[in-house]
Amino acid sequence: MRMLAVISGEYGARHVTNLRAHSPQGWSLEVWKAPAAFPLMIDYPEDLLPPTLPQCDLILSFAEHKAVAELLPDMAKITGARAVIAAVDNDAWLPRGLARQLCGWLERMNVACATPKPLCSLTEHDYKVTRRDRESYDSPIISEFAAYFGQPDIHITVNEVTHTIESAEVHRDAVCGCARFVAEKLIGLSVDEAEEKAGLAHHHYPCLASMVKLNDYNHDTLMHESGHLLQGNLGEQLKPFKQIQYVTPGVVARDTQ
């Protein structure tokens, strides 16, 4: 698969680094750095694009300015791209209304579009747009990408005697590489502490999703939502091994021995 990433700064650069390090054999990735500043009104998007861009199948927008959304349809024309993934790890970079417009513009061009919010909510068939809502898509190209990068899927092996994690295999990494980082930190942890430690490792990576509280995420942040997605993946696997302690009101612990 041929990919073209649009970046503005460190946020996108880290995604590119991880993709180049861990993409399947045969995938290629080119990068275009978007302008640092944009006019208030974009009358001719093509004037802000370079004369040529590499041909690709998939455009990945990691841009940190909402004006880049107006350039993506023209980029799809120039590159021949059949699909676009525009990350929403910060509402200011791609507000929901503009994300809908972008999908509409590209749909009229017969180009598939996904706008996962956060980016690490992308699966092979859908992605989050609010805390409770997921939006489906139909694109073999986006699905192929999401089989390797998107909503973290870490498969763990637990030692049933010691109740510690023996292995953690990343089946799907976050685009930024966070899941791979967290998986390395899980080895040797007890099942009772693993979820909490995974959340801390996620924040310490650090996750670069926004820390702005959002109404459509119940006044939570996209950084926290990203952490919840990763912890949820682990929680389901850890549940059978957890030791549940019951507390009886008015009974001292030694009285239950």
- The rounded distance, in Å, linking the Cα atoms of 114 and 45 is 21
In whole numbers, what is the pLDDT of the chain averaged over residues? 93
The domain boundary residue, chosen from 123, 146, 169: 146
Q: Tell me the two tokens of residue 55.
A: 């041909």
The domain boundary residue, chosen from 94, 111, 146: 146
Distance set, CA 43 to CA 34, 38, 47, 70, 92 (Å)? 17, 11, 9, 10, 21
Please indicate, yes or no, if residue 173 is contained in any of the structural domains: yes
The pLDDT score that the predictor gives to residue 257 is: 47
Q: Are residues 69 and 188 in the same domain?
A: no
Is pLDDT above 90 for 26?
A: yes
The domain boundary residue, chosen from 98, 119, 146: 146
Q: Tell me the two tokens of residue 34.
A: 């978007």
Q: Are residues 112 and 194 in the same domain?
A: no
Q: Are residues 171 and 203 in the same domain?
A: yes
Q: Are residues 15 and 130 in the same domain?
A: yes
Q: Are residues 187 and 104 in the same domain?
A: no
DSSP 8-state secondary structure symbol assigned to residue 48:
G
Distance set, CA 166 to CA 9, 160, 205 (Å)? 37, 10, 22
Number of domains in the chain: 2
Q: Are residues 110 and 34 in the same domain?
A: yes
**pLDDT tens readout for residues 76-132:** 999 999 999 999 999 999 999 999 999 999 999 999 999 999 999 999 999 999 999
Q: Tell me the two tokens of residue 7.
A: 């970046």
Q: What is the CATH number of the domain that holds 125?
A: 3.40.50
Q: Are residues 199 and 133 in the same domain?
A: no
Is pLDDT above 50 for 256?
A: no
Q: Are residues 54 and 157 in the same domain?
A: no
SS3 string of 130-147? CCCCEEECCCHHHHHHHC
Q: Are residues 127 and 178 in the same domain?
A: no
- The rounded distance, in Å, linking the Cα atoms of 3 and 151 is 19
Q: Are residues 102 and 217 in the same domain?
A: no
Domain that includes residue 88, residue range: 2-146
Q: Are residues 18 and 127 in the same domain?
A: yes
Task: Please tell me which residue, 249 or 148, carries the higher pLDDT value.
Answer: 148
Q: Are residues 142 and 173 in the same domain?
A: no
Query: Got the DSSP string for 173-230?
Result: B-TTSHHHHHHHHHTT-BTTTHHHHHHHHHHHTT--S----BGGGTTB-HHHHHHHHH
